[in-house]
Amino acid sequence: MTQRLQDVVGKLYKPAAGTRQVFALSRADAEKLPRLPSIAVISITAPERPPADLDGFEHVLRLSFADVDFLNPSLSRRAAEKLGDAFTAEQAQAIWSFVNDMPEEIVSIVVHCEGGYSRSCAIALGLHHVYGYRVEMEQLGQANPSVARVMTTGRSRRT
């Protein structure tokens, strides 16, 4: 078990009182999490990848979108090819609905993407900015700027 995963698991077992906490993890780490009833998972996979193995979690939202900074005016050709699979305002709305409908006993949200650095961090930042959820800000430095913006403003290039 990686040190990062050990740290998060410790916080999942002993959450601080007051407000929900949200963590961004890699897919591999999320698949190893204990199946606690106090955890909800937002699972983000790349369009070409199969769903993550999250059997045992009661509250799971599965999304699939490419890791592309679609609001960047100087996209590379490779990034531009992924625009059709970019994050949408509809997916942001699905996240808000999922979070708003969560039972009160959910005190932790784990957001995972393939690597745990870009898409999942952007979603975690959005939950922090909109709801004030506790985050480990030092872990969120590589958040996808376009996904974070859509999470906080509801705007995307595709709407």
Is residue 14 in a domain?
no
Q: What is the CATH number of the domain that holds 83?
A: 3.90.190
Long-range contacts of 87-91 (CB under 8 A, 24+ apart): 87/119, 87/144, 87/146, 87/147, 87/150, 87/156, 88/150, 88/156, 88/158, 88/159, 89/150, 89/154, 89/155, 89/156, 89/158, 89/159, 90/159, 91/63, 91/65
* Residue-level pLDDT at 53: 97
Predicted pLDDT at 158:
37
145-153 and 119-131 helices cross at what angle (nearest 10)? 30
What pTM, to 2 d.p., does this model score? Answer: 0.93
Quick one: pLDDT at residue 138?
A: 93
* Model confidence pLDDT, tens digit, residues 2-25: 898 999 999 999 998 888 999 999
Question: Which pLDDT tens digit goes with each residue over 28-69?
Answer: 999 999 999 999 999 999 999 999 999 999 999 999 999 999
Calpha distance 108→19 (Å, rounded)? 9
Pairing mode of beta strands 21-26, 39-45: unpaired
Q: Residue 79: what pLDDT? A: 87
Strand stretches in the chain, DSSP E = 21-26, 39-45, 59-64, 108-113
Is the pLDDT reported for residue 159 higher than 60? Answer: no
> pLDDT band at residue 146, thresholds of 50, 70 and 90?
very high
Residue 154 binned pLDDT confidence (cut-offs 50, 70, 90): low
- Dmax over CA atoms of the chain, in Å, equals 47
Q: Is residue 47 part of a domain?
A: yes
Average pLDDT over all residues of the chain: 92
Residue 148 lies in a domain: yes
Residue 2 domain flag: no
Domains contained in the chain, number: 1
Structural domain range at position 62:
19-115+122-153
Beta-bridged to residue 28, according to DSSP, are none
Is 59 within a domain?
yes
CA angle 100, 45, 54 (to 5 degrees): 70
> Phi then psi for 84, rounded to 5 degrees?
-65, -20
**% of the chain with per-residue pLDDT over 90:** 81
Closest CA to 7 of 94, 87, 116, 91: 116
Q: Is 10 part of any domain? A: no
Q: Is residue 12 part of a domain?
A: no
